[in-house]
A and B are shown apart, each in its own frame.
Chain A
Amino acid sequence: MVRRKYRSQAGIVHDILEVLQREGAMPATRIATYANLPYDRLKLILLSLEESGLVIKTKEGYDITEKGLEALNTLRRSRKLLESLGFRL
């Protein structure tokens, strides 16, 4: 039996925001590759991040906002705490 792999929502958001900060704006398909996520799952998460104002849709694809950068820094600071609590980042 193949063991399913799970990652926390926080870990996925961290990966998405980090790749957008590092590489700049990109289409959802490329983000899906970097974040190691199925495309349709990623689209739902991007939609939620867009509603929260953490990412913005541009003509190149998706880009990180100022609020997104703040969220990324908060996630980085909380990384050890989340891992200690058992959330897979």
Chain B
Amino acid sequence: MDSQTFILLSAVIAYSGAFTSLYISLSLFKLGEVIKDKGLTLSAIAMTIFGISLLIEATVNIMAPTYISGPGRRPQELLSILVNRGTLIAIPLYTISYVLMASSHYVSGVSLRETAIPPKEFSVIPLFVIMFIDYNVIDLIVLIVAAIIVLGKYGSARLPTVVFYIVLGISHLVPVMLLFASSSWWIVPLSTLLRGLAPLILFASSLLKE
């Protein structure tokens, strides 16, 4: 598969994932409003931000030129930077989205044993994380691991949910290969493609019959 086709394929999957995320968020917004569950509303906001991030990433990346030439330039390196621009713009939004995803399970989780309302001081932890850690791959991986841990404690760590977070984690790990791969045009589109695939997996699993 040539670079043009692969970049286009990743953009198509990213757009599909973005619109699926926005559809999921709409359902969650409606449900959260009906039953007054702040956790669902937070999750809806997280999915909205995730969908918008995917749209931005795919749109800006696909607009990057595929060929650069000229005296005194280093075309391949410049191309890598330009193809990555959408991802760099979207990264802070992904971070916010993952923080909200983790927080939504904490907010929605109701203890079945304690009679008193549990203290909510730990809910500020994700805010501290976002304030003190720079927006980078490690940050995103830490947040995804945090989301899985919070999910296991306050939510239900089912297979589709864990697969969703693992695919997201891998999508953010893939760009590390930029350090090692000599021909790296496919790395950024692959990470975008994986991020687009994650909500599609989640939504498809919700359509499966038990």
Interface residues of A (CB under 8 A from B): 2, 4-10, 12-13, 36-41, 44, 48-49, 51-52, 54, 70-71, 74-75, 78, 80-89
Contacts and interface: CB of A to CB of B under 8 A. Distances in A.
14 contacts: A6-B109, A8-B105, A9-B36, A10-B108, A52-B34, A78-B31, A80-B206, A80-B208, A81-B24, A84-B161, A84-B164, A84-B203, A85-B24, A87-B105
A85 B111 contact: no
Main secondary structure of the interface of A (DSSP, over half): helix
Contacts of B208: 80
Contacts of B113: 2, 4-5
A54 B31 CA distance: 13
A21 to B, nearest CB: 15
Contacts of B108: 8-10, 87
Main secondary structure of the interface of B (DSSP, over half): helix
A79 B157 CA distance: 15
B161 A85 contact: yes
B27 A8 contact: no
Top 7 closest pairs, chain A to chain B, by CB: A6-B109, A86-B161, A86-B155, A88-B156, A9-B37, A81-B206, A38-B115
Contacts of A41: 110, 115, 117
A36 B151 CA distance: 21
